[in-house]
């Protein structure tokens, strides 16, 4: 009879790591493709002046909504990976929670449909979701950079760079004229993709290395 008080054996699951890593990258790709499709499908759309939120309202809102939910899934996959392979320290732990919250905020932004069509019925929380996303996005890469260095110095350096670029770039969005804020929002999206793809590659590489060693 097994000893129920003994500590269970814990080990990394390399195939799970690889699968979730590629799922996170795929979610970024789906979001990008959905925006590209909507840019052509939505009538009278100016991708330089009109934001992604403008694409997420109206008759063709489902196109961008699919992408938003896919990117939410990317963030959740990254949070699961970070929890599965904990790189140590309280900062990494807070970063895991931050990634999960980012996934939730992105999902809520897509689900609430309070943008683009200037919806003002009930309690409008879109701007607060955006503020929360911006603040957490600034903190998460920095929080996880120290732990990521254990997998390679360049991972830590990239995450610090992402955090700094976001801190400098994100506030500018609210100061821009409407004629260019659509293009700038896409630039901010690339920074968010960089966070997900950097962490996904870290875990994919680790999973492949562990799988090859077995």
pLDDT in tens, 45-65: 777 877 787 776 677 788 999
Contacts of 61 by beta carbon, 8 Å cutoff, 6+ apart: 55, 113, 116
Q: Is residue 1 part of a domain?
A: no
Domain count, the chain: 1
* pLDDT reported for residue 51: 79
Q: Is residue 5 part of a domain?
A: no
> What's the pTM value of the predicted model, to 2 decimals?
0.89
CA dist 186 and 94 (Å) reads 27
Q: Tokens 């992408």: give the residue.
A: 67
Tokens (6 digits) for 81: 């990976």
Euclidean distance between the first and the last CA atom of the chain, given in angstroms as a whole number: 29
Structural domain range at position 137: 14-113+124-213
* pLDDT reported for residue 126: 79
* pLDDT reported for residue 70: 97
* pLDDT reported for residue 1: 45
**What 3-state DSSP class applies to 42?**
coil
Q: Is residue 118 part of a domain?
A: no
CA dist 53 and 115 (Å) reads 6
* pLDDT reported for residue 114: 54
CA dist 191 and 27 (Å) reads 15
Q: Is residue 155 part of a domain?
A: yes
How far is residue 55 CA from its own chain's centroid? 19
Q: Is residue 119 part of a domain?
A: no
Which residue stretches of the chain have pLDDT < 50? 1-2, 116-118, 122
Tokens (6 digits) for 84: 């599965």
Q: Is residue 206 part of a domain?
A: yes
């Amino acid at each position: 009879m097994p000893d129920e008080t003994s500590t269970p054996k814990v080990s990394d699951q390399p195939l799970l790591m690889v699968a979730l890593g590629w799922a996170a990258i795929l979610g970024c790709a789906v979001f990008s493709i959905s925006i590209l499709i909507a840019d052509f499908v939505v009538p009278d759309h100016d991708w330089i002046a009109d934001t992604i939120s403008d694409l997420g309202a109206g008759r063709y809102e489902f196109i961008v909504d699919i992408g938003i939910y896919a990117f939410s899934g990317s963030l959740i996959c990254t949070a699961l990976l970070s929890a599965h392979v904990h790189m140590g320290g309280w900062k990494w732990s807070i970063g895991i929670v931050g990634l999960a919250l980012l996934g939730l905020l992105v999902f809520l932004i897509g689900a609430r449909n309070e943008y683009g069509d200037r919806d003002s019925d009930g309690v409008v929380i879109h701007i607060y979701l955006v503020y929360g996303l911006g603040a957490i996005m600034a903190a998460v890469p920095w929080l996880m950079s120290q732990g990521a260095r254990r997998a390679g110095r360049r991972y830590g350096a990239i995450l610090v760079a992402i955090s700094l670029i976001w801190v400098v770039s994100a506030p500018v969005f609210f100061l821009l004229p409407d004629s260019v804020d659509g293009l700038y929002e896409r630039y901010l999206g690339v920074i968010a993709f960089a966070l997900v793809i950097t962490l996904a590659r870290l875990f994919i590489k680790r999973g492949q290395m562990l799988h090859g060693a077995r």
